Amino acid sequence: MIGLIKGPSTHKGYSEDNSLMDSFGRRASKLRISVTDRCNFRCDFCMPLNPVWLPHSEILTYEEITRITKILVNLGIRKVRLSGGEPLVRKDLEILVNMLNKIYEIESISMTTNGALLEEKARVLKDNGLKSVTISLHSLKPELYDSITRTKNMFYKVLRGIEEAKRVGLKVKINCVVTRNCNDNEVLDFAKLAYEGNINVRFIEYMPFDGNKLWDIEKVVSGDEILERIKSHYPLVKLPREHGSTAENYAFKDGSKGGIGIISSITKPFCKDCDRIRLKADGKIVPCLFSNDEYDLKPLLRGGASDEEIAQFIKESFWKKSEGVEAMIKKNLVLKHIRSMYTIGG
């Protein structure tokens, strides 16, 4: 694991080789692209009831996203995840998947979605190169699901989307944000879904990135607590952690091909070997989810800059990536309400 060792004091403020490296020596190999800030849901831990959307003219075109991705691939990016807002509300997303899939060096294109439009879109996305999909599902009780997502009668539609994604051969995972006194009594039900459905369920700690300012430390159910509850019913085997992974992954001891992931972003963050860079829908580069710092690429992109100039701007931006959550906590920096999750894509 790469330690948080400051780069040499003589550094130029960017990686001097052809990679994306920050001042702590961490290199980026994964890109998360938010293709829109818009969403057809209003999950209470994410979205304000009356969001103000970015104007269409501010949103990057598929050509602009592809150009930036190619530049990033030349700097070492190998995996791309599409997110939002809700990525499937962006028209013809498969066109973007197809364009990205033509970039030879990209090893995988995946997507995080609320699943509402997946039933219709899974096949065409798969045909254009999508490899895997993570569907957010926060309750197995239809009424509670509607209340958390502030939608009506979407639960069964999302389940059909999950089935369709599996049917067309996409790799499928489930994301569940656990909130105290809301859905935390469903942890075992989700574990059962993982076990019996041979599916990977990832439990995420509630992060202070909600558009409603409802977050409170009391509402966070720690990854350890979630794990203990699951282990009391299902013996688990811990899997080796992949470099840069935000999840601790577990397999079931007996038989099931399903799995459990625990994402303890608040109580046990993995910032020391973070290998991500994020691109917002309006062309801002975000080196760290937990920092307000963002760097606007659009003036360069739309102002005639060369690929080399854009690459240099991204390298300089990424160099300034913040140390991460552990360091912020040590310095007593407040983590609360940095930005709403829908503006960045998780």
Nearer to ligand SAM, 206 or 252 (CB): 206
Size of the residue set binding ligand SAM (CB under 6 A): 21
Least CB distance to ligand SAM at residue 302 (A)? 26
Size of the residue set binding ligand SF4 (CB under 6 A): 13
Candidate segments 41-49, 184-192, 232-240, 271-279, binder of ligand SF4 by CB under 6 A: 41-49
Q: Tokens 């294109």 correspond to what residue? A: 109
Candidate segments 60-68, 205-213, 219-227, 277-285, binder of ligand SAM by CB under 6 A: 205-213
CA count, 13 A, side-chain hemisphere, 31: 32
Chosen residue from 145, 155, 195, 209 binding ligand SAM by CB under 6 A: 209
Q: How far is residue 238's CA from residue 261's CA, in Å, rounded to a whole number? A: 10
Interface of this chain with ligand SF4, residues 84 to 123, rule: CB under 6 A? 84-86, 114
Q: Tokens 């993995």 correspond to what residue? A: 270
| Residue 204 within binding range of ligand SAM, rule CB under 6 A | yes
| Residue 246 within binding range of ligand SAM, rule CB under 6 A | no
Nearer to ligand SAM, 206 or 234 (CB): 206
SS3 label, residue 87: helix
Query: Can you list the positions of beta strands (E) in the chain?
Result: 30-34, 79-83, 108-113, 132-136, 171-178, 200-205, 236-238, 248-252, 259-263, 276-279, 284-286, 295-296
- 42 makes contact, choosing from ligand SAM, ligand SF4, none, with CB < 5 to 8 Å by partner type, with ligand SF4
| Residue 311 within binding range of ligand SAM, rule CB under 6 A | no
- 47 makes contact, choosing from ligand SF4, ligand SAM, none, with CB < 5 to 8 Å by partner type, with ligand SF4
Q: Which residues pair with 10 in a beta bridge?
A: none
- 206 makes contact, choosing from ligand SF4, ligand SAM, none, with CB < 5 to 8 Å by partner type, with ligand SAM
Nearer to ligand SAM, 7 or 48 (CB): 48
| Residue 211 within binding range of ligand SAM, rule CB under 6 A | no
Chosen residue from 69, 113, 249, 322 binding ligand SAM by CB under 6 A: 113
- C-beta neighbour count of 12 within 10 angstroms: 11
Q: What is the DSSP track for 288-329?
A: -TTS---EE-HHHHTTT--HHHHHHHHHHHHHT----HHHHH
Kind and range of the H or E run holding 70: helix 62-74
Chosen residue from 41, 145, 155, 270 binding ligand SF4 by CB under 6 A: 41
Least CB distance to ligand SF4 at residue 39 (A)? 3
Interface of this chain with ligand SF4, residues 121 to 180, rule: CB under 6 A? 136
Question: Among residues 41, 12, 26, 71, which one has the least CA distance to residue 321?
Answer: 26
| Residue 341 within binding range of ligand SF4, rule CB under 6 A | yes
SS3 label, residue 195: helix
* Torsion sign across C-alpha atoms 161, 165, 167, 172: negative
Q: Which residues pair with 251 in a beta bridge?
A: 237, 259
Distance (Å) of CA 42 to CA 18, 50, 211:
41, 9, 9
Binding site for ligand SAM (CB under 6 A): 39, 45-46, 83-84, 86, 112-114, 136, 175, 177, 204, 206-207, 209-210, 341-342, 345-346
